[in-house]
């Protein structure tokens, strides 16, 4: 089908130096929408995502079935559905529009379809079968979004932790003052024994506690999807067999709460990234992106609230290139994890002419960063490429989120590389999306906050009775 696309494969005016085949979805969607807008052969399309008593509704327009742009329409709708699914989450997906489009999506997001992984993960998150339906009667429900305040509590003696795929960050905080931080290397993705994870996390908490006179509360940030402090989906624990996951991993943080006997709250690491940004900027309307072992994202609305959305942008498509890199977990191509994480650095290094040493991706990232620090021009091209990716992804995110501030954090942004990523992203916005460049502010925290800021923000999650 890729050879038949006529609208979506648009080149960036500022090409990423190590990925000349990059075809940003931000530009492809604009080209498609303009063509639809100029045509009389168009129909409305509504995408409804329902979840846990709430739901989201997205309206767009597409070419009517039978146009010369049918291949573009099919790809446009499927990529949009995929993005919305991982942005907002849903157990039931309803398509209001042409039946052939609904049939197409239903086939792809089935147990034997190309997006079987996505459908199964939604079932794991919401603990219900994933359903795709067609609404031929145009009885589209109204959106039922929910939002709650998060974090910002600094009274008392608190421990904050941030679980990543290559390290475990900890912070001890006393009445808002950080008294201890550390980073402990670990490789949880290969550990099948759930007791390893429990004891490793608990040992870190005990280490942080040794720097406080007492522990009043514990807050955690972790890659994955967490509902009511239960682990619903998390790549960190992917090696744990399903039965053990259900019995020991899912209630892990509830069990730690019982053991410590204090309030303990865990949130998605992306939401905590956004919280860290809001706390440092003293403002709201923040989209946070953490570039670590994978891509994490979180969103605080204009009132400083989280929305209950998934914000798993590691699975959100950003590239229409039919030969885009594939995600190691889902197998899908062109999604955020391969563009905004240490996976991206490792993928781009050979293209830049850098031979990486054997070892963990975190060690390989440090090797590239050390090369860059020494003035190696090949390494700089990697961060320039990620910066171009980020500029276009920012424009795509702005189409689907309402934010004023974009904050980037994580190990990939450490050192001069983070500055280059932002410089290139801002240049892309100024060149391709000038109205957005005037509206949005892109930020990097200070060097220490880049690495342990999420752990500090996580410490502020629980509410104490004296708050």
Residue 451 in this model has a pLDDT that exceeds 60 = no
Domain-embedded: residue 94: yes
Cβ count near 363 (within 10 Å): 14
H or E element in which residue 244 lies: helix 242-244
Residues 6+ apart with CB under 8 A from 228: none
Residue 450 in this model has a pLDDT that exceeds 60 = no
Residue 306 in this model has a pLDDT that exceeds 90 = no
Residues 6+ apart with CB under 8 A from 25: 8, 79, 317, 318, 319, 320, 334, 392, 396
Q: What angle do CA 82, 139, 312 make, to 5 degrees?
A: 20
Q: What angle do CA 103, 46, 132 make, to 5 degrees?
A: 40
Considering the domain architecture, whether residues 181 and 127 belong to the same structural domain is answered as no
CA distances from 309 to 25, 27, 85, 448 (A): 21, 25, 9, 28
Domain-embedded: residue 328: yes
Instruction: Express as a percent the part of the chain with pLDDT over 70.
Output: 97
- pLDDT tens for 210-228 read 999 999 999 998 888 888 8
The reported pLDDT for the residue numbered 166 is 81
Rounded Cα–Cα distance for residues 179 and 14 (Å): 44
Going across the sheet that includes 54-63, the strands are 54-63, 42-51, 92-96, 131-134
Domain-embedded: residue 146: no
Tokens of 305: 């609230």
Instruction: Indicate the pLDDT class of residue 308, thresholds 50, 70 and 90.
Output: confident
Considering the domain architecture, whether residues 121 and 161 belong to the same structural domain is answered as no
Considering the domain architecture, whether residues 300 and 236 belong to the same structural domain is answered as no
The CATH number for 298's domain is 3.30.420.40
Domain housing 425: 272-454
Considering the domain architecture, whether residues 72 and 218 belong to the same structural domain is answered as no
Contact 255, 436 (CB under 8 A): no
Considering the domain architecture, whether residues 263 and 277 belong to the same structural domain is answered as no
Rounded Cα–Cα distance for residues 320 and 25 (Å): 6
Considering the domain architecture, whether residues 321 and 257 belong to the same structural domain is answered as no
Lowest mean pLDDT, pick from 87-101, 268-282, 297-311:
268-282
Domain-embedded: residue 145: no
CA distances from 93 to 46, 58, 180, 242 (A): 10, 11, 46, 26
Domain-embedded: residue 116: yes
Domain end: 235, 268, 301, which one? 268
Environment class of residue 389 by beta-carbon count within 10 Å: exposed (0-12), middle (13-18) or buried (19+)?
buried
| 173 three-class SS | strand
Rounded Cα–Cα distance for residues 306 and 56 (Å): 15
Domain end: 234, 268, 302, which one? 268
Domain-embedded: residue 246: yes
The reported pLDDT for the residue numbered 467 is 46
| Mean pLDDT taken over the chain | 92
Considering the domain architecture, whether residues 29 and 128 belong to the same structural domain is answered as yes
Contacts of 254-261 spanning 24+ positions with Cβ under 8 A: 254/229, 254/230, 255/198, 256/198, 256/201, 256/202, 256/205, 256/218, 257/218, 257/229, 259/202, 260/205, 260/215, 260/218
Torsion of CA 361, 363, 364, 366, to 10 degrees: 130
Instruction: Indicate the pLDDT class of residue 466, thresholds 50, 70 and 90.
Output: low
- Count up the domains in the chain and report the number: 3
The reported pLDDT for the residue numbered 367 is 97
Tokens of 400: 């689907």
- pLDDT tens for 105-162 read 999 999 999 999 999 999 988 989 999 999 876 667 777 777 777 888 989 999 999 9
Considering the domain architecture, whether residues 113 and 260 belong to the same structural domain is answered as no
Rounded Cα–Cα distance for residues 16 and 324 (Å): 13
Taking residues 396-412, report their average pLDDT: 94
Our separate counts of H helices and E strands in the chain read 14, 17
Rounded Cα–Cα distance for residues 215 and 232 (Å): 27
Considering the domain architecture, whether residues 232 and 214 belong to the same structural domain is answered as yes
Domain-embedded: residue 172: yes
Domain end: 250, 268, 286, which one? 268
Q: Nearest to residue 304, comparing CAs of 134, 148, 115? A: 148
Domain-embedded: residue 67: yes
CA distances from 362 to 80, 108, 293, 342, 369 (A): 31, 34, 7, 7, 11
Residue 465 in this model has a pLDDT that exceeds 90 = no
**Which residue in the block uniquely carries the two structure tokens 């990486």?**
356
**Which residue in the block uniquely carries the two structure tokens 């670590």?**
292
- pLDDT tens for 177-186 read 999 999 898 8
Q: Which residues pair with 42 in a beta bridge?
A: 63
Q: What sign has the CA pseudo-torsion 422, 226, 301, 131? A: positive
Instruction: Indicate the pLDDT class of residue 460, thresholds 50, 70 and 90.
Output: very high
| 316 three-class SS | coil
Considering the domain architecture, whether residues 283 and 404 belong to the same structural domain is answered as yes
Tokens of 136: 């031929």
Taking residues 253-260, report their average pLDDT: 97
Considering the domain architecture, whether residues 97 and 36 belong to the same structural domain is answered as yes
Lowest mean pLDDT, pick from 24-33, 45-54, 171-180:
45-54
Residues 6+ apart with CB under 8 A from 246: none
- pLDDT tens for 38-92 read 999 999 999 999 987 778 999 999 999 999 999 999 999 999 999 999 999 999 9
Instruction: Indicate the pLDDT class of residue 282, thresholds 50, 70 and 90.
Output: confident
The reported pLDDT for the residue numbered 289 is 92
Question: Can you point out the beta strands (E) in 417-457?
Answer: 441-443
Considering the domain architecture, whether residues 110 and 172 belong to the same structural domain is answered as no
Instruction: Indicate the pLDDT class of residue 336, thresholds 50, 70 and 90.
Output: very high
Tokens of 444: 């990097």
The reported pLDDT for the residue numbered 360 is 86
Instruction: Indicate the pLDDT class of residue 452, thresholds 50, 70 and 90.
Output: low
């Amino acid at each position: 089908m890729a050879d038949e696309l006529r609208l979506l494969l648009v080149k960036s005016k500022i090409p990423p130096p190590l990925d000349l085949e990059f075809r940003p979805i931000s530009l492809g969607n604009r080209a498609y929408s303009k063509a639809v807008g100029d045509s009389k052969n168009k129909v409305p399309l509504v995408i409804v995502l329902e979840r846990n008593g709430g739901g989201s509704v997205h309206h767009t327009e597409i070419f009517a079935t039978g146009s010369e742009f049918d291949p573009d329409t099919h790809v446009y709708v499927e990529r949009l559905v995929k993005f919305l699914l991982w942005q907002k989450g849903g157990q039931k997906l309803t398509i209001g529009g042409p039946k052939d489009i609904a049939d197409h999506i239903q086939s792809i997001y089935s147990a034997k379809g190309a997006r079987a992984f996505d459908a199964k993960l939604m079932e794991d998150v919401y603990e219900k079968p994933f359903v795709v339906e067609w609404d031929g009667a145009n009885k589209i429900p109204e959106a039922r979004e929910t939002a709650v305040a998060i974090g910002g509590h600094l009274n008392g003696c608190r421990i904050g932790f941030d679980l990543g795929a290559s390290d475990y960050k900890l912070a001890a905080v006393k009445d808002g003052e950080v008294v201890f931080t550390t980073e402990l290397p670990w490789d949880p993705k290969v550990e099948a024994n759930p007791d390893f994870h429990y004891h490793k996390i608990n040992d870190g908490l005990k280490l942080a506690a040794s720097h406080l006179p007492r522990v009043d509360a514990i807050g955690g940030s972790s890659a994955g999807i967490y509902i009511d402090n239960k682990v619903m989906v998390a790549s960190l624990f992917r090696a744990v067999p399903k039965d053990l996951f259900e019995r020991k991993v899912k209630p892990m943080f509830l069990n730690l709460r019982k053991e410590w006997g204090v309030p303990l709250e865990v949130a998605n690491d992306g939401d905590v990234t956004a919280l860290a940004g809001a706390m440092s900027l003293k403002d709201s309307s923040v989209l946070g992106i953490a570039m670590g072992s994978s891509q994490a994202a979180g969103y605080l609305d204009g009132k400083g609230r989280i929305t209950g959305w998934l914000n798993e942008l590691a699975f959100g498509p950003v590239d229409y290139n039919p030969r885009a890199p594939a995600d190691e977990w889902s197998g899908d191509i062109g999604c955020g994890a391969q563009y905004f994480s240490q996976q991206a650095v490792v993928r781009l290094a050979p293209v830049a002419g850098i031979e990486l040493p054997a070892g963990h991706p975190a060690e390989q990232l440090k090797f590239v960063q050390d090369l860059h620090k020494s003035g190696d021009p090949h390494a700089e091209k990697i961060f320039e490429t990620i910066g171009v990716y980020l500029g276009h992804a920012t424009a795509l995110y702005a189409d689907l989120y309402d934010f004023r501030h974009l904050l980037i954090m994580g190990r990939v942004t450490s050192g001069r590389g983070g500055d280059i990523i932002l410089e290139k992203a801002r240049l892309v916005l100024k060149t391709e999306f000038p109205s957005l460049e005037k509206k949005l502010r892109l930020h990097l925290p200070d060097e220490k906050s880049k690495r342990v800021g999420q752990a500090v923000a996580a410490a502020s999650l629980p509410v104490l009775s004296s708050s």
